Amino acid sequence: MSLDLNRKTVTKNAFRITKRRNHTAIRIRVPGGHLNASQIARIARIAEQFGDGNLHITTRQGFEIPNIPFEKMAEVNAALRPLIEELELEHGVKIDNPAAGYPAAGMRNISACIGNRTCPFANTDTTGLAQRIEAVVYPHDFHTKIAITGCPNDCIKAHMQDFGIIAICIPEYDYDQCIGCEACAKACQRKVTGAIEMNGSKVVRDERRCIGCGECVLACPTSAWTRKPGKYYRLLVMGRTGKKNPRLAMPFLDRVNEEVVTKVIANTMAYVDRYILRCLPKEHIGYIVDRTGFNVFRDEVLQGVVLNTEARLAKTIQWPGYNTLNDANLKTTK
């Protein structure tokens, strides 16, 4: 890297320090993972004009353009302006100078499955939700990963994120519409958790086992099962990969509305600002929660949050994970 460049300034501007001397790579945000053809063509032109014509689709549904000379960064930022205006500013994100490129890189691209714009199983428009959350949390410097999935199938792998948002439904049953065909029970028994059973000709649903997938609604031929009006979500917290201690995210809130989800995520940024170890280059949120304790995290992120009447809150959380020490693979010396 050239000596007159500040590494922190480069990375904050969404450029990566790469292994190729005097060259960088730009990360392009695509909140919700949705692009039109002209936007894809614009990204391709930037790669051809300033890079070597190659593109990488990141695991978070963004794009990375490698092999850009450092001296071309200002030109790349100017070329990105239409994309930033269309994908960020038009959805309410506040960026003072879009011609200067991205103002932060800590908040990772918010990824989403295709949602109910296309998928019959999805309970919500995941891309639209991702764009609205983007307007709340970006720009931000804290290393944070958010993903949204349209149903408990979890195609986006919400369980591996700092915040995994699962769109769910609250199924409602109309006895007068039911013909006792058992389609809902069979679907739930074969595909899901077995929350629905038949007791003679009577349908019985165990709310403790219901995950809000909506398979009963899809299976019912007479619309005896319907989705309760409104949008509801399960918020999973503090999943992670990485070298230290990978683990699955666990449910923190269930059956909450969008306002609750966005407020909790926004409050978490203030919580991180208070407790992060600034002596480290970056610290994942999950490790801060481990250090402060779940109760501190819970109390601070729920400040000012008004839970909707259907909401459920986890009293405590134990995250499943594994440590790197594996006794079965250790050699004994005798």
What radius of gyration, in Å, describes the C-alpha atoms of the chain?
23
First vs last Cα of the chain: how many Å apart? 51
d(C-alpha 23, C-alpha 271), whole Å: 36
d(C-alpha 108, C-alpha 146), whole Å: 7
Two domains, one topology: 7-100 and 111-168+232-313: no
170-183 burial, b at 16+ Cβ within 10 Å, e below that, comes to bbebeeeebeeeeb
In the predicted model, what is the mean pLDDT of residues 108-116? 97
d(C-alpha 220, C-alpha 183), whole Å: 6
pLDDT at 244 (0 to 100): 83
User: Which whole-number Å values give the CA distances from 320 to 160, 227, 241, in the listed order?
Assistant: 12, 31, 12
pLDDT tens, 66-76?
A: 999 999 999 99
Domain 7-100 has CATH 3.90.1150.110: no
Mean per-residue pLDDT over the chain, rounded: 94
pLDDT at 258 (0 to 100): 98
pLDDT tens, 37-63?
A: 999 999 999 999 999 999 999 999 999
- pLDDT at residue 4 above 80? no
pLDDT at 308 (0 to 100): 97
pLDDT tens, 286-334?
A: 999 999 999 999 999 999 999 999 999 999 999 988 766 665 565 655 5
- pLDDT at residue 2 above 50? no
**pLDDT band per the 50, 70, 90 thresholds, residue 5:** confident
Class of the domain covering 111-168+232-313: alpha beta
Q: Is the dihedral of CA 186, 187, 189, 195 positive or negative?
A: negative
pLDDT tens, 77-91?
A: 999 999 999 999 999
pLDDT tens, 200-259?
A: 888 999 999 999 999 999 999 999 999 999 999 999 999 999 888 899 999 999 999 999
The residue ranges of every structural domain in the chain are 7-100, 111-168+232-313, 171-227
| Fold adopted by 171-227 | Alpha-Beta Plaits (3.30.70)
d(C-alpha 285, C-alpha 107), whole Å: 11
**Environment class of residue 301 by beta-carbon count within 10 Å: exposed (0-12), middle (13-18) or buried (19+)?**
buried
Q: Which long-range contacts (CB under 8 A, 24 or more apart) does 237-240 make?
A: 237/162, 237/163, 237/164, 237/289, 237/317, 238/162, 238/285, 238/286, 238/289, 238/317, 238/319, 239/158, 239/159, 239/160, 239/161, 239/162, 239/164, 239/286, 239/319, 240/160, 240/162, 240/284, 240/286
Amino acid in the structure at residue 282: K
pLDDT at 326 (0 to 100): 62
- pLDDT at residue 169 above 80? yes
